[in-house]
Amino acid sequence: MRILLAGPRGFCAGVNMAIESLRLAIRLYGTPIYVYHEIVHNRWVVERFRDQGVVFVDDLAEVPERSHLLYSAHGVSPEIRRMAAQRRLATLDATCPLVTKIHNQAIRFAQQGYTVVLIGHAGHDEVVGTMGEAPEVIVLVQTLADVDRLQVADPERLAYLTQTTLSVDDAERIIDRLRERFPDIAGPAKNICYATTNRQEAVRTLSDRADLVLVVGSRNSSNSQRLAELAGSAGVPSYLVDGPDDIELDWFVGVETVVITAGASAPETVVQQCVALLRNRFDAGVESCMICEENVRFALPEPLRSVSD
């Protein structure tokens, strides 16, 4: 068996920043420390921090007044920020700057009198936070059918934004349909974040050489799900696994070439555990296939920039 280890894979700059922020916050403030939602959508990361005394909450009522609270990489709505201030919580914002950019674009379009079409998945933390910036003018669409049903008061004052972790192909199809129906619709120059785009491009490029694609990532990770779907849409069997315990050896009967990749919140240590399993059971060789380089870094929240190891 041959393993093609896709690159880029795994942690993106936003995830690195959020995880480092929480690690340093523990060092600076001790535990318990609270995080609104999961810091990133990965079971291994969340469990590791929970074992260190981090408390993940979906309701700020669970956070004692004056506690330290960290916002996850996916961002929060203004209402959450208001409630945190009301409870006198000491907050740290680990929102990915690319998500913050979407928030700012939503605010700007709303202030200019636009109706904003947000392309994304209902209930996803990022979508909930973005829609909270201007709920009275933001409309969520998930499918082409949603676009076909869309009714707006002023088609000439219409804009679109996207969740950062969508399938590039799916998002482009919806954007094209929006432009067909509303030729004057405004939108950003770039839609999906660089890391999501790069990981999808690596899978798209390598799938032609694969008998099977293994995606390491948790099921509540949107970008990990999109990687598995992308390989499947190319006709290649694909599996999304949290780690080596999820791998079924029967999948690999007759398989000669396996592509392994990882969602943007999946740790490289777990990727290597999956690689080790296939090397041990199938005497697999490993070839690194780097499609493009990533050199993006995001600054830590201000209170943590002076904390050192």
38, 126, 133, 229: the catalytic one is 126
- Provide the 10 A C-beta neighbour count for residue 158: 22
- Provide the 10 A C-beta neighbour count for residue 123: 8
Q: Tokens 């999956």 — which residue? A: 274
Q: Is 47 a catalytic residue?
A: no
Question: 300 phi and psi, to 5 degrees?
Answer: -70, 160
3-state helix, strand, coil in the chain (%, to 5): 40, 20, 40
- Provide the 10 A C-beta neighbour count for residue 107: 15
Q: Tokens 């605010």 — which residue? A: 107
Report whether 175 contacts 160 (CB < 8 A): yes
Report whether 275 contacts 1 (CB < 8 A): no
| Sign of the alpha-carbon torsion through 68, 219, 300, 273 | positive
* Burial tier of 288 (Cβ tally within 10 Å: 0-12, 13-18, 19+): exposed
185: left (phi over 0), alpha (psi -120 to 50) or beta: beta
What distance lies between CA 62 and its chain's CA centroid?
Answer: 25
Q: Which residues are known to be catalytic?
A: 126
